[in-house]
Structure 1
Amino acid sequence: MRRVVQFSTGNVGVHSLRAIIGRPDLELVGVHAATPAKVGRDAAELCGLGEPTGITATADINALIALRPDCVVYTALGETRPIEAIEEMSTFLRAGINVVGTSMVWLVVPRQADDWLRTPLEQACAAGGASLYVNGIDPGYSADTAVHSALSLVARARSVTVQEIFDYGNYDDYEYTGTAMGFGRTCEDDVPMAFQPGVITSLFGGLVRNLARQLDVELDDVRERYEAWYATERITCRMTTVEAGGVAAVRFAVEGVRADAPVLTVEHVNRLTPAAAPSWPYPPGGALGVHKVVVEGEPRVEVNTHLSHPTLDVTDAGCVSTAARAVNAIDWVCRAPAGLIGLEDIPPAEMIRGLMW
């Protein structure tokens, strides 16, 4: 039985919290909440469960360390506050507490992370003899588990394309995702945060470089591209309201290039309505979302991952899967040698242990 603390209860955190509470091989011992309105509330209430757990949320990190957990599930938004997030993670690691998470997506491929991020976390792991693992569905599953499976089926590969094609209209995250992607902006010269020069490569370039390393391919260059589609009429959705002339879809990618042609591509196509950007790729079969891998080779392989849930929207189902990528690794990470862990370090069977009871 692993003693676990859940750190944050946002779009992903509510689902990892539910998963921890439900699993018989995990024991929830603490919950962190940053907002005063959540502090003091029972964990079950914070994630929509009916039966109280007796575990109430706190904003006191030292109180959580005093609980002596084996692992912390860190799902707090870190990309907009990276220095603070590094310190929060490091505080647990220095105390000998392992961390699994979905935040700080650069760490999905820790060997590709820049020194400013990797070095303090490596030092914290060494000081506490603890381990840190970060993953999700995208970045994460699409460019590691799914692409590895697809590549294992070919005798020779000529190119690899990893895509997330998703309708974000029902995703309740305008504060971060909507703002970062610029949904609703009307000025073509006003480039949103996520698409400032170098940002796409910062977030997704590590996936391309990591895949090139695994394939033993030398790239000539890693480049990025971005385009926006502007609404022709007003769009109202859960994410936000977009007036005519505002951004209602974005398409962006990082490409690993050889001989001036992309051979390794990680791409997103994100809309707020199926009517947006009609010339861009759609998920197959009329679905609202897909995580797709296409390997052009001998033979051609296409892997389409569709998520669904009996009561949740497909974007919420994606948050469940993102949470699962962290929670499912808890036991192995607690047994692993100290340091930063990538998905490739974990035996595949370890990621499914304890899932059926």
Structure 2
Amino acid sequence: MIATVVWGTGNVGRAAVRAVAANPALELAAVVVHDPAKVGRDAGTLADLGHELGVAATDDLDAVFAADPRAVVYAASGDIRFDDALADVVRAVRAGAAVVTPALYPLYDQRNAPRELREPVLDAIAKGGGSLFVSGVDPGWGNDILPVLVSGLGSTVDVVRCQEIFDYSTYEQPDSVRYLVGMGQPMDYDPPMLMTGVPAMVWGGQVRLIARALGVEVDEVRETLDRRPLENDVTTRTMGEFARGAQGAVRFEVQGIVDGEPRIVIEHVTRIHPSCAPDWPQPPSGAGAHRVIIEGRPRIEVTVEASDEGANRSAGGNATAAGRLVNAIPWLVDAKPGLYDALDVPINPGRLRRR
């Protein structure tokens, strides 16, 4: 079995612990936490498994790496601490581990990532013999492998569109929702995630991955942005009050321009309440969905909904993103040391649980 560390127990980390525990090829060796209140708690409890796993959470990184784990799921956030996240991942790779993470979005398309980001990772691989695979949490498979797969089902492809449609009131990261994305802020507030160039920096790599798979080159990456205010005060279960007139919905596109037209598009439609921007795309049910639309002949539309953690349907996207990463570990361990992307790493069949 592959000794595997899960680093972080937030939205993605909880799902990662469950995925590691369920995979017969993996053994949960350690769970790393930052919050002192979590130190010593059982991983199964932290992951909402309903039973203990016999692995106590720790903040002692030296002890974790002294045990020479073969794999690390880095589930800590990189949104507002990118340099720290990169340093953590480089440490794990240099220790010889196969590392999977959603935190380093510039490495989604690792071949075209900035040199200053690739070089520390490649140096760590050369010196330590580890590997790295980065895939998104939005989720990555919805913006790379799924559209590529579906595009091969028709005779012609004109436009590939990937959509995330999501109710942010179910996403238990208040700082990211309120300040990074700007939900509940005045309409003249400039959310860091929506500043010009940021969406293209985050999702442009996935646009280029799809283009590479389809055998075309992207001439440029463009952005569109639309924001809507709340028409009424709303109260949310997880994040409290949001006032009328504040930002209540965001819709943006990251467009891959091919032959002068947007031909590969990643679109996000996010709300803090279903009543805001009702004319925008809606999920079939629940808090959200991921959709791939192939405009061509035939026109193909695939919508994926996932639920996890009881009634919290928003956790399903995190769970599938974590599953994609965790289930890639056996392949990475068997592969030669290297820096990999979603077009390199296959999706293996799941396992039918025995009753």
Q: TM-score range by the shorter chain?
A: over 0.9
Quick one: distance in 1 between partners of 2:38 and 2:350?
32
- Alpha carbons 1:30, 1:55 under 8 Å: kept: yes
Q: Which amino acid aligns with 2:16?
A: S
Quick one: distance in 2 between partners of 1:200 and 1:98?
28
Quick one: distance in 2 between partners of 1:139 and 1:40?
30
Q: Which amino acid aligns with 2:318?
A: C
Residue number in structure 1 paired with 2:223: 224
Residue number in structure 2 paired with 1:212: 211
**Deviation of 1:214 (Å):** 2.2
Residue number in structure 1 paired with 2:349: 352
Cα RMSD after superposing both structures: 1.8
**Deviation of 1:353 (Å):** 5.4
Relative distance call for 1:204 and 1:136 in structure 2 (3 A) is: closer
Relative distance call for 1:70 and 1:354 in structure 2 (3 A) is: farther
Residue number in structure 2 paired with 1:330: 329
Quick one: distance in 2 between partners of 1:104 and 1:342?
12
- Map Cα deviations across residues 298-352 of structure 1 (whole Å, 9 max, x no partner): 211111111134823211111211211111111111111111111211233xx23
- Alpha carbons 1:93, 1:124 under 8 Å: kept: yes
Quick one: distance in 1 between partners of 2:195 and 2:50?
44
Quick one: distance in 1 between partners of 2:305 and 2:84?
34
Q: Which amino acid aligns with 1:338?
A: P
**Structure 2 residue runs without a partner (length 5+):** none
Relative distance call for 1:98 and 1:175 in structure 2 (3 A) is: same
Residue number in structure 1 paired with 2:36: 36
Q: Which amino acid aligns with 2:212?
A: R
Is 2:242 the partner of 1:242?
yes
Aligned to 2:38, what secondary structure does the other structure show? Answer: coil
Residue number in structure 2 paired with 1:304: 303
Aligned to 1:59, what secondary structure does the other structure show? Answer: coil
When normalised by structure 1's length, the TM-score is 0.93
Relative distance call for 1:278 and 1:122 in structure 2 (3 A) is: same
Q: Report matched runs for 1:180-191 at 5 Å.
A: 180-188=180-188, 190-191=189-190
- Alpha carbons 1:72, 1:98 under 8 Å: kept: yes
- Alpha carbons 2:139, 2:318 under 8 Å: kept: no
**Deviation of 1:105 (Å):** 2.4
**Deviation of 1:50 (Å):** 4.5
- Map Cα deviations across residues 55-112 of structure 1 (whole Å, 9 max, x no partner): 2222122111111211011100012111111111111111111111222223222223
- Give the stretch that moved more between structures: 317-326 or 53-62: 53-62
Quick one: distance in 2 between partners of 1:4 and 1:13?
13
Q: Report matched runs for 1:128-207 at 5 Å.
A: 128-188=128-188, 190-207=189-206
- Alpha carbons 1:249, 1:272 under 8 Å: kept: yes
- Alpha carbons 2:186, 2:245 under 8 Å: kept: yes
Q: Which amino acid aligns with 2:214?
A: L
Residue number in structure 2 paired with 1:13: 13
**Deviation of 1:34 (Å):** 0.8
**Structure 1 residue runs without a partner (length 5+):** none
Relative distance call for 1:259 and 1:335 in structure 2 (3 A) is: closer
Relative distance call for 1:109 and 1:294 in structure 2 (3 A) is: same
**Deviation of 1:259 (Å):** 4.9
- Map Cα deviations across residues 216-275 of structure 1 (whole Å, 9 max, x no partner): 223332111111110011011124421011011100111112454311111000012211
